Amino acid sequence: MPPAGDAQETRRRLVEAAYREFAAHGVAGARVDRVAATAGVNKALIYFHFGNKEGLFTAVFEMIVNQALAEAPFDATKLPEYAGRIFDVGEANPEALRLVTWHRLERAADQPPPQAVIAANQSKVEAIAKAQAAGQVTARYTAAEILALVLSIANMWTVMSPEMHLAAPTDPAARRALVVDAVATLVRP
Amino acid sequence: MPPAGDAQETRRRLVEAAYREFAAHGVAGARVDRVAATAGVNKALIYFHFGNKEGLFTAVFEMIVNQALAEAPFDATKLPEYAGRIFDVGEANPEALRLVTWHRLERAADQPPPQAVIAANQSKVEAIAKAQAAGQVTARYTAAEILALVLSIANMWTVMSPEMHLAAPTDPAARRALVVDAVATLVRP
DNA sequence: GTCCGTCAACTAACTGGTTAGTCAAGTAGG
DNA sequence: CCTACTTGACTAACCAGTTAGTTGACGGAC
């Protein structure tokens, strides 16, 4: 085994394992020993690299946020398509949405919101405002309200309680079509 | 001390205390000792009355579900108003929504969905279908899809990540107006 | 009417397993 | 040999659940 092995690689393996653990069980439910076992490294390495359990979650959360921001390019003049893309990303990474929800429930209260997210939202709001001024997007709602609506509808199925899925269409394509169409209806000038 | 005291009252106190504890910390994060202390009863009574921690959560969850179903009378011909009412209930009981979210994350996978919720959803879907047939609600989406849309939008602000609140209007009245208007726009025939 | 057995409701103290976090020692590469 | 990295073994605290026993109400026997 490589003791002076690749620390970078060890960190990556730990974050990957922690991602699954936290997404499945949250901070309180996650087991540090389980993360270490899954990553195939000694538990003490977690404390060496990340300080504590909380630090490990922070590392995972930052990775997910950056990844999410990178995967969904924003175009204020094509909000329905953007919503569809968000839907696709959520569909492909259901664990990421769980992780964000755990964050909201367990940590958001005593954690300052990530600067990257605030900045990203701000630029999106400005872009929407510009599109509104150009008459490409409805002026019925404020730019921030539109962004909130788009994101809410894009993620509506993942946030929905599972009981709802029994009554609603299970076909992903139909769910996606609904998301795109609903956003289109709402943001039409 | 009343040993053969009011068991009903003891149960109520425990459920009440557990409600706050679970809403704040979830199942894994909740502390049984803390619930007992808050309720002012002996910890063993929790196991006497509810079997285990899980049973206590189930009791709390059932109470919340029944309460929620009772508080929001459904009228398929007035979906925007219904969304507004759901918004109001959520605004008045933020803890209830947290509890439902905890349930979804921690228990929904291995818990059969409550029959009461399924039945309630089914009757709502049927009512919407009837309103669609009468031309009072758009036929662009299926009845189940409309219900999903209405509920998603009604709860959009509570589900939204807190970062969003920084960019969006903090005025509850404005948030409510948006919810009602967006639903109206979507369900108009 | 009082004695006694039963039972639901309740309690204080305990247990055994778990868990986050620590530490001293060791290993390889530069 | 020194720095960065890794390890097995350890611990102190925590926490869900248990246990053995107490309390008072109720009801039937005499």
List alpha helices for chain B, DSSP H: 7-29, 32-39, 43-50, 53-71, 79-92, 94-102, 115-133, 143-154, 156-159, 162-167, 172-187
On the CB side of A184, CA atoms within 13 Å amount to 10
Residue with tokens 């979830």: B26
Show which of residues 152-171 on chain B sit within 8 Å of chain A, judged by CB atoms. 152-153, 155-157, 159-164, 166-169
Distance from chain centroid for Cα A158: 11
DSSP, collapsed to helix, strand or coil, labels residue A64 as: helix
Instruction: Report the gap between the CA of B9 and the closest CA in chain A (Å).
Output: 30
Residue with tokens 């049973």: B55
Residues 6 or more apart whose Cβ sits within 8 Å of residue B59? B11, B15, B18, B50
C7 C1' closest Cα residue:
B4
pLDDT at residue number B4: 46
How many CB atoms are closer than 10 A to CB A122?
A: 13
Strand D bases with any atom < 7 A from protein Cβ: 3-9, 15-20, 22-25
Calculated CA dihedral for residues A79, A84, A90, A92, nearest 10 degrees: -140
Higher pLDDT, A128 or B160: A128
Calculated CA dihedral for residues A69, A70, A76, A77, nearest 10 degrees: -150
List alpha helices for chain A, DSSP H: 7-29, 32-39, 43-50, 53-71, 79-92, 94-102, 115-133, 143-154, 156-159, 162-167, 172-187
Are A57 and A107 a contacting pair, CB within 8 Å? yes
Contact at CB, A149 and B153, closer than 8 angstroms: yes
Contact at CB, A166 and B113, closer than 8 angstroms: yes
Q: Rounded mean pLDDT of chain B?
A: 92
Are A96 and A20 a contacting pair, CB within 8 Å? no
Answer for A89: CB within 7 Å of strand D. no
Answer for A41: CB within 7 Å of strand C. no
Share of chain B above pLDDT 90, in %: 81
Per-residue tokens: B158: 């509570």
DSSP, collapsed to helix, strand or coil, labels residue A154 as: helix
Q: In angstroms, rounded to a whole number, what is the distance separating the alpha carbons of residues B180 and A2?
A: 61
Nearest to A74 by CA among A139, A128, A118: A128
Residue B160 has pLDDT above 80, yes or no: yes
B121 CB burial (10 A radius; 0-12, 13-18, 19+): buried
pLDDT at residue number A4: 43
* Domains of chain B (ranges, CATH numbers): 1-60 (1.10.10.60), 72-189 (1.10.357.10)
Strand C bases with any atom < 7 A from protein Cβ: 7-13, 18-24, 26-29
The pLDDT tens digits for A136-180 are: 999 999 999 999 999 999 999 988 877 777 777 778 999 999 999
Residue B5 has pLDDT above 70, yes or no: no
Show which of residues 121-140 on chain A sit within 8 Å of chain B, judged by CB atoms. 121-122, 125, 140
pTM of the model: 0.90
Angle between helices B7-29 and B53-71 (to 10 degrees): 100
Q: In angstroms, rounded to a whole number, what is the distance separating the alpha carbons of residues A39 and A28?
A: 19
On the CB side of A21, CA atoms within 13 Å amount to 23
Residue B3 has pLDDT above 50, yes or no: no
Query: CA at B20, C1' at C16: how many angstroms apart?
Result: 29
pLDDT at residue number A87: 96
Answer for A30: CB within 7 Å of strand C. yes
Low-confidence residues in chain A, pLDDT < 50: 1-4
Answer for B28: CB within 7 Å of strand C. no
Out of B101, B142, B182, the one facing A105 most closely (by C-beta) is B101
Q: In angstroms, rounded to a whole number, what is the distance separating the alpha carbons of residues B164 and A123?
A: 12
Question: By mean pLDDT, which of A110-119, B88-97, B120-129, B164-173 is the weakest?
Answer: B164-173
Q: In angstroms, rounded to a whole number, what is the distance separating the alpha carbons of residues A123 and A144?
A: 11
Answer for B30: CB within 7 Å of strand D. yes
The arithmetic mean of pLDDT across residues B40-58, rounded, is 95
Q: In angstroms, rounded to a whole number, what is the distance separating the alpha carbons of residues B9 and B66?
A: 19
DSSP, collapsed to helix, strand or coil, labels residue B9 as: helix
Q: Following DSSP, what letter does each residue of B131-179 receive, concatenated?
A: HHHTTSS-SSS-HHHHHHHHHHHHTHHHHS-HHHHHHS---HHHHHHHH
The arithmetic mean of pLDDT across residues B133-159, rounded, is 95
Calculated CA dihedral for residues B121, B127, B133, B134, nearest 10 degrees: -150
pLDDT at residue number B72: 87
pLDDT at residue number B147: 96
